[in-house]
Chains A and B, each alone.
Chain A
Amino acid sequence: MHFKSVASVVILAAAVIGFFVTQSPQANAGEITVYTSLEEPEIADYLAAARKDMPDLKVNVLRMSTGDLGARILSEASHPRYDVIWGWALTNMMDPRIQALLVPYQPKGLQRMPAQFRDAGGKWFAPTGYMAALCVNTDRLKRKGLPMPTGWSDLLNPAYKGEVVMPNPASSGTGYLQVVSILQGMGGEKGWDFLKHLNVNVAQYAKSGSRPCNMASTGEYAVGASSAIVAMEAVKQGYPVKMVIPKEGAGYELEANALVAASTHKHDAERFLDWTISDSAVKLYGKYKEIVGIAGVRHSADETAVGLPADVKKVLFPMNFKQSMETRSQTLARWQREIEHH
C-alpha cells in the first residue's frame, strides 16, 4: 500500500515534469514564424509550393481570424516573436500601433504591382484581396416567392423584410467594408439614408463576416451578405446558393504582407516575402483569389463557374483605405447610434 502510493506520486510527478519540459522552441535558423488571416485550404497550397521553391526554409504559420489576430499582435507588441505578417486586412494594418511594429521592405519584383497595391513608404504590399458578395439561397427565394436580387438597392424591396443578414461592422471587417463601400459610393448623407432604409429589411447583424453566408446556405435566411470567397465555397459544397456581386460595385479589402521590425530572421523573412509575389505564388492566387494585385492573372475555371466575373477590377468599388481607417471609430459610433439601435 505504502509502496504503491509512493510509486504513483513519483509517476505523477514525472509525468507533469516531463510535460512541462517539452518546450516549444523559437524559430531556428532557416525557419520563420508567420502570422496570417488567409484561409486554411489556400495556406496549405501556398506552403507546399513555397517548400518546393525554397527547400531549406521552414515556414511556421499561425492562422487566426482578422480581428483576433489584431488583438494578439497588439498584446504581443512589446516582444513580437514572429517575422512576417502575411495576408492580413489592410484596414487593420493601417492602424498606427501596427505600423510602428513594421519595417519597410521592397520585395524583388515589386514594380510589377500597381501603386494602389503597395505602400509608398514601403511598409506593406498587398498581392491579393477579397471582396464583398451576396449569398442568395435560391430554395428559400422560391418558397417565399422572392425575386433574385442584383445589388444592394434591390434589397430595399419590402418583400425582403426579415430575410437579409449582414455582418455587424463593429465586430467584422467584412461588415465594415460593406458599410464603407456604400457610404463612400453614395457619398455621405445619402449613404447613411440608404443604410437606414436597408436596416428595415435586415433581420440581424451577425458577429462574423462568414456567418451571414453560412446562414443563407442552411436556409435560415434568403440573403446573406459576406465575402466572395465564402460564397464560392458555399456554391462549391453544393448548397442551393447563388453568388451575387452587387451591381453598385463590390466593396473590397486588400490582404497585406509586411516585415516585422523585431524579426530575428530578417534574411529568411525577406526571402519569403519575395516569394509571395514570385511567379509560382501568383499562379496559385488565380485559384483562390478574386483580387490579385499583379497583372496577368487568370482566374481558375472553378471560380468563373460559380459566378465570378472574368474581369473583377470592373466590379470593384474604388475604396479609399486611408479614409476608411481614419474614420472608423466615428463611422461605427454613428452606425451603432442610428442604425443598430433603431
Chain B
Amino acid sequence: MSTERLPLIASLQTRWQLGKKQTEFLVAVVAILPLALFVLYPLWTILRESVLRPDGRWSLDYYARYMQDSHFRETLFNTLNVSIWATLATTAIAFGYAYALRRTKVPGKMLWHSVMLLPLFAPSLIQALGVQFILGRNGIVNRYLGTDIDIYGFWGILLANVLYGLPHAYLVLSVSLGAADARLYEAAKLLGAGGFKRFLSVTLPTARYGVLSAIFLGFAINISEFGNPMVLGGDYNVLATEIYNQVAGQANFHLGAVIGVLLLFPVLLSVAAEKWIGRRQATISSQATPYRPVRNWRIDGPMLLFLGTVALAIVAVVGVVVVASFTKLWPYNLGFTLKHYALDVPGGYGALWVSLKMSLATAVIGMVVATFAAMVVHKLSSRLRQVLYLLSVVPAAVPGMVLGLGYVLAFNNPSLPVYWLYGTVALLSLCTVYHYHAQAFLIATTGLKQVDSRLQEASHTLGGGALHTARHVTLPLIRPAMASIGMFYFMHSMVTISALIFLVSPEVTPAAVSILLLNDAGNWPQAAAFATIIMFTIAAVVLGIKALAHGAALLHKRQNHS
C-alpha cells in the first residue's frame, strides 16, 4: 500500500523532474514543518526545563528527585488506575453508541448524534458543576433519595472524564464504523456465522484501527486532563493536577516539566501500536456494496435503550446547570429569574465575537492541516512517516497548561520571524488547532484507512490527473471525516480554555475565559448563564451551516436537472 504513489507526488515528479525519493521527502517536509514549529518547538522550550539546571548545565536531577518521592508513586498509581478504567469505559460506551448509529436501524439517529456531541461544546466547568449538582453531597440524588453518596475522588474523576472523553472517541469510532462492506456480512452469513461471530470476525477487524485510536486518545486525554480532577478529584491526586500544583501553585517549572515528559509515554506506545496495526487494517474494497442495516427489534430495542441511557446522562449533567442558571439561588430558592444573564464582566457578551471568529478560523485551518497530515502519513513510505505520525498525535498527551506556557516561551521572542503572531487571535487559533491535532488527525486517518487505494489508483490509470484524483476520488470519500473534523474543531474551540488562558491578551479575550473569570470570582450562576448562551450560539451556528449546505445541495441538484 505504501509503495504506491500519492497522486500529488506523481504530479510533482513529472512537473519538476524529481526522483521519487526526493518528492516524497519534499512533501513530508511540507507536512512536518508546521508541526515542528507549532508543536515540537513550544514543547521543547518548556520541557527542556526538566533537564536544565539553574546554572545552565544539563542533568537528570529533577527526575531522580521526583521519582524518589513516595508521593510520586501514589500519584502515578492513582493516575494509571483512574485513567485505565475511564479509557475502557469511554471506549466501550463510545463503540456501542457509534455501532448503534452506524450498524443498526434505530430511529432518531440525528438526535442521538447531536446529543453525543454536547460534551464537546459544553464548557468543562458546566460538566463538573453538573456532576456536583446531581451526585454531590448536597446533590439532587442525595437530597431526594436520602442517600449518602460521596463522589469526590476516584469516582468523580472517572465519571467526569468519561463524559468528557466520549465525543472524542465517538467521532473516531463513528468514522471507523461508517463504512462497511455488505458482501462480507453476506459471506459470513452463508458460512453459517451467527450474529456474534459476525461481529467478531467482520465488524471488529474492519474497525480495529478506529478502536485502537480511540483507546489511545482516551488514555492520553485522561492522563493529561486536569480540569475534572481539579473540581471533582478531592484529595485523589493525579499527575495532571500535580503539574498545576508545581507550576501555578509553586512556580516550579522544573518539576512541572518532569511530569509533562512522563505524560508523553502513552504516545510512544501509540506509535508502536500504529506501526504494528498499520498493515493489518481491513479496507473497504472498490467493489464493496454499502452495508444497509435492516430493522431488527431484537437488536434495535436494546440499542435504543442503551442510546437513551447514555444520552440521558449527558443531557442531565448539562441540563441541570442550564436550569440552575435560571433559578434565583440554586439549590435553595428554585424560583425563576433572568438576573444571572446580566453579566458583570467588562465587555459582557462581546467576548462571543472573539470566540466565533477564532473558532471558525480554527475549524478551517484545522480541517486542512489535519487532513493533509493524515494523507501524507497514509501514503508515505520513508522513515519520515513515523516522525510525522509521532508529531501528529503527541499533542493529545500534552496538558493544556504545558502547551500554553510552551507557546508563551516559544513565541514571545522578537528574534523569531513569527513573533508578530504573539498576542493575536491567530495564535489562539493555531494553538487550538495543534492542541487537538491528534483527534482530528486520527479521525482523518481512520477515514483514509477504510478507503481502498485501488479506487485512487484506478482514477490515476484512467488518466485522471493527480489533483483530479484527489478532488474527485479521495476527497469525496473522506468528506464525511473532514466534516466531522471541522465540526469537532469549531465546537471545541468555542469552549476550550486550558491552553488559551496563558495566551490571552487584554485586547483578545474569548468567551470561555470570561466564564472562568466569573467562576473565579465566586459567581458561578453568571458563569453558567454565559455558558448556556455559548452552547446555544454553537448550536445555532452549526444548524445554520447545515441548513445552508442543505440549501446549496438542493440548488445544485435543481440546476443540474434544468
Contact = CB atoms under 8 A, between A and B. Distances in A.
Contact of A33 (B132, B501, B506, B523): B506
A57 to B, nearest CB: 14
B227 to A, nearest CB: 10
B144 to A, nearest CB: 14
Interface in B391-419: 401, 405, 408-409, 412-414
A183 interface: no
A340 interface: yes
Contacts of B38: none
A63 B230 contact: no
A168 B502 CA distance: 22
B502 A219 contact: no
A75 B329 contact: no
A239 B329 contact: yes
A19 interface: yes
Contact of B331 (A40, A72, A219, A233): A219
A204 B241 contact: no
Contact of B521 (A12, A40, A170): A40
Interface stretch (B11-19, B24-32, B102-110, B423-431): B423-431
Contacts of A218: 132-133, 136, 138, 330-331
Interface stretch (A145-153, A206-214, A316-324): A206-214
B247 interface: yes
Given A79-B413, A240-B332, A233 B521 contact: yes
A64 interface: yes
B364 interface: yes
Contacts of A78: 412-413
Contacts of A19: 357, 361, 425-426, 429
Contacts of B533: none
Interface in B510-549: 517-518, 520-525
Contact of A210 (B364, B429, B520): B520
Contacts of B425: 19, 22, 24
B463 interface: no
A81 interface: yes
Contact of A171 (B245, B344, B345): B245
B329 A203 contact: no
Interface in A293-342: 328-329, 332, 336-337, 340-341
A208 B328 CA distance: 25
Given A218-B138, A337-B71, A341-B70, A203 B234 contact: yes
Interface string B223-239: 00000001101110100
Nearest to B358: A19
A12 B364 contact: yes
A119 interface: no
A308 to B, nearest CB: 16
B530 to A, nearest CB: 12
Given A24-B423, A336-B71, A341-B71, A62 B137 contact: no
A340 to B, nearest CB: 7
B3 interface: no
A74 B132 contact: no
A332 B346 CA distance: 37
B249 interface: yes
Contacts, number: 169
A237 B329 contact: yes
B251 A95 contact: yes
Interface string A74-105: 11101101000000000010010100000000
Interface centre among B330, B405, B521 (most CB of A within 10 A): B521
B248 A41 contact: no
B97 interface: no
A230 interface: yes
B346 A75 contact: no
Contact of B235 (A47, A74, A328, A340): A340
Contacts of A40: 344-346, 517-518, 520-521
Nearest to B559: A1
B346 A44 contact: yes
A329 B245 CA distance: 12
A140 B401 CA distance: 36
A71 B251 contact: yes
B414 A79 contact: yes
B420 interface: yes
Contact of B405 (A24, A71, A233, A337): A71
Interface in A131-163: 139-140
A177 to B, nearest CB: 13
Contacts of B136: 218, 220
Contacts of B55: none
B412 A171 contact: no
B412 A205 contact: no
A201 interface: no
Interface in B335-370: 344-346, 357, 361, 364-365
Contacts of B71: 336-337, 341
Contacts of A220: 132, 136-138
B478 interface: no
B251 A238 contact: no
Contacts of A5: 471
B210 to A, nearest CB: 29
A139 B504 contact: no
Nearest to A207: B230
A72 B409 CA distance: 9
B519 to A, nearest CB: 8
Find the residue from B233, B253, B413, B517 having the highest chain A CB count within 10 A.
Answer: B517
Interface in B157-176: none
Contacts of A79: 412-414
Given A12-B364, A340-B235, A62 B506 contact: yes
A172 interface: yes
A81 B423 contact: yes
A328 B251 CA distance: 11
Q: Which among B233, B253, B329, B414 has the highest number of chain A CB atoms within 10 Å? A: B329
B359 to A, nearest CB: 11
Contact of B420 (A23, A204, A221, A329): A23
26 contacts: A20-B426, A22-B424, A23-B424, A39-B521, A40-B345, A40-B517, A40-B520, A41-B344, A64-B501, A65-B520, A67-B251, A68-B501, A70-B251, A92-B251, A171-B241, A171-B249, A204-B152, A207-B233, A210-B522, A214-B524, A217-B522, A218-B136, A218-B138, A219-B138, A233-B521, A332-B250
Given A44-B344, A74-B253, 12 more contacts: A26-B423, A39-B521, A40-B346, A68-B501, A72-B405, A139-B332, A218-B132, A218-B133, A237-B523, A239-B329, A240-B332, A332-B250
Interface of B: 46, 70-71, 74, 132-133, 136-138, 152, 230-231, 233-235, 237, 241, 244-245, 247-253, 328-333, 344-346, 357, 361, 364-365, 401, 405, 408-409, 412-414, 420, 423-426, 429, 471, 501-502, 504-508, 517-518, 520-525
In the A-B complex, the 7 residue pairs with the smallest Cβ-Cβ separation, listed nearest first, are A67-B248, A60-B506, A219-B138, A171-B249, A75-B408, A204-B234, A233-B522
